């Protein structure tokens, strides 16, 4: 099997990763740091969790700053980019990368990208932050963290149990011992028995039960005018959809669409961070007839909006999701409150 043929490369990858971790000297920032990360390759709900952490901190009257690498951004000449400040978006998708730019549309806090997140944090002093949120930071050894939140996808938690390239693990499962909170995501898409198995497996490693969250639909909007679908039953009954995505775990999105009862004509899946060309959308639109439409994710929508005209936009709908807690909300809040010195205030 392929995974065994790749095993020598897996050993090399693991050794280099461990050497990198052991030899890298971590720097301490001037404010507490919350890291949102995972131990697998691909989508695990990190971005919705990052948004939820930022929104919660803002609800406390505190100011977070999100530090992100800005993966797959086209223009890398500028080392550190302020994607948005407290008031508005300052950059574009070319300079920001798709995920930071998408987050900038959902949270009203500064977002700064750059490979050197220590430099990004220094750039953030102008915003007088109370705390930093390190996006995709569990394997970012260059910064000390005060709280590590690790997301595990309930639909594919550990793959075949092997590290890259034989499997999807960035680190061995034992790395979860470093986490302060393990969050099993997409619990609404997995059956109860599978979630129970994941819970027990994580408990064996960490000696703590994970929290469980769902990434659920909360609205569908039209790309043309950002208008929300009001009569969902009519919308569901009278339309058929081509599902389009370029995300880490496209199955999560497809399953969400299916669970909503939307009729799917076809699935068009691109690789994660795919940069859409106008011809991509034109080819997909040519597949449509009658009441058929495109439905896509918020992350894909920010990339599509760069290349679609008004006529195209009218056929594209965006499914926005909201992270909700099945359990463990109190643990989540207590950990963050503690970092902010607010346990006695709330």
Q: Are residues 272 and 335 in the same domain?
A: no
Q: Are residues 44 and 187 in the same domain?
A: yes
Q: Are residues 132 and 173 in the same domain?
A: yes
Q: Is the pLDDT at 74 greater than 80, yes or no?
A: no
Q: Are residues 163 and 244 in the same domain?
A: no
Which candidate, 45, 27, 119, 48, places its Cα nearest to that of 82? 119
Q: Is residue 143 part of a domain?
A: yes
Q: Is the pLDDT at 14 greater than 90, yes or no?
A: no
User: 0.85 exceeded by the pTM?
Assistant: yes
Q: Is residue 344 part of a domain?
A: no
Print the SS3 string covering 163-211. Answer: ECCCCCECCCHHHHHHCCEEEEECHHHCCHHHHHHHHHHHHHHHCCCCE
Q: Is the pLDDT at 289 greater than 90, yes or no?
A: no
pLDDT (mean) for 94-123: 93
Neighbours of 188 (CB within 10 A): 17
pLDDT at 12: 85
Q: Are residues 283 and 187 in the same domain?
A: no
pLDDT at 2: 66
CATH number of the domain enclosing 309 = 3.40.50
Q: Is residue 345 part of a domain?
A: no
Q: Is residue 188 part of a domain?
A: yes
Q: Are residues 304 and 185 in the same domain?
A: no
On average, the pLDDT of the chain sits at 91
CATH number of the domain enclosing 77 = 3.40.50.300
Q: Is residue 202 part of a domain?
A: yes
Q: Are residues 221 and 209 in the same domain?
A: no
pLDDT (mean) for 234-258: 91
Q: Is residue 346 part of a domain?
A: no
Per-residue pLDDT band for 346 (boundaries 50, 70, 90) equals very low
**CA torsion, points 115, 103, 98, 211, in degrees to nearest 10?**
80
Query: In terms of residue numbers, what domain contains 244?
Result: 216-321
The total number of structural domains that make up the chain: 2
Name 33's bridge partners.
132
Q: Is the pLDDT at 1 greater than 70, yes or no?
A: no
Which candidate, 279, 272, 318, places its Cα nearest to that of 97? 272
Q: Are residues 10 and 146 in the same domain?
A: yes
Q: Are residues 253 and 210 in the same domain?
A: no
Q: Is residue 209 part of a domain?
A: yes
Q: Are residues 232 and 300 in the same domain?
A: yes
Q: Are residues 130 and 156 in the same domain?
A: yes
Tens of pLDDT, residues 113-143: 998 999 999 999 999 999 999 999 999 999 9
Q: Is residue 134 part of a domain?
A: yes
Q: Are residues 178 and 247 in the same domain?
A: no
Q: Is the pLDDT at 313 greater than 80, yes or no?
A: yes
């Amino acid at each position: 099997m392929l995974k065994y043929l790749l095993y020598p490369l897996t050993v090399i990858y693991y050794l280099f990763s461990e050497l990198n971790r052991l030899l890298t000297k971590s720097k301490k920032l001037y404010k507490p740091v919350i890291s949102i990360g995972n131990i697998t390759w691909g989508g695990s709900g990190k971005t919705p969790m990052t948004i939820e952490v930022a929104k919660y901190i803002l609800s406390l009257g505190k100011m977070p700053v999100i530090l992100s690498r800005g993966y797959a951004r086209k223009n890398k000449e500028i080392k550190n980019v302020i994607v948005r400040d407290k008031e508005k978006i300052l950059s574009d998708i070319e300079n920001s990368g798709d995920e930071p730019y998408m987050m900038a549309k959902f949270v009203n806090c500064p977002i700064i990208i750059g490979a050197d997140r220590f430099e990004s944090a220094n750039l953030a002093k102008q915003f007088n932050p109370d705390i930093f949120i390190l996006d995709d930071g569990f394997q970012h050894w260059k910064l000390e963290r005060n709280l590590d939140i690790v997301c595990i996808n309930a639909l594919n938690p550990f793959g075949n149990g092997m590290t890259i390239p034989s499997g999807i693990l960035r680190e061995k499962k034992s790395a979860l011992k470093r986490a302060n909170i393990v969050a099993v995501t997409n619990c609404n898409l997995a059956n109860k028995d599978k979630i129970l198995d994941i819970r027990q497996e994580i408990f064996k490693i960490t000696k703590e039960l994970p929290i469980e969250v769902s990434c659920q639909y909360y609205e569908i909007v039209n790309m043309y005018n950002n208008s929300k679908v009001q009569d969902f039953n009519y919308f569901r009954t009278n339309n058929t959809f081509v599902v389009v995505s370029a995300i880490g775990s496209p199955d999560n999105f497809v399953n969400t669409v299916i669970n909503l009862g939307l009729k799917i004509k076809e699935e068009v899946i691109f690789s994660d961070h795919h940069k859409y060309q106008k011809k991509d959308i034109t080819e997909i639109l040519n597949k449509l007839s009658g009441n058929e439409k495109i439905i896509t994710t918020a992350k894909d929508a920010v990339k599509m909006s760069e290349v679609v005209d008004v006529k195209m936009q009218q056929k594209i709908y965006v499914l926005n999701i909201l992270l909700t807690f099945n359990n463990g909300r109190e643990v989540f809040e207590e950990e963050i409150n503690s970092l902010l010195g607010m346990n006695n205030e709330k």
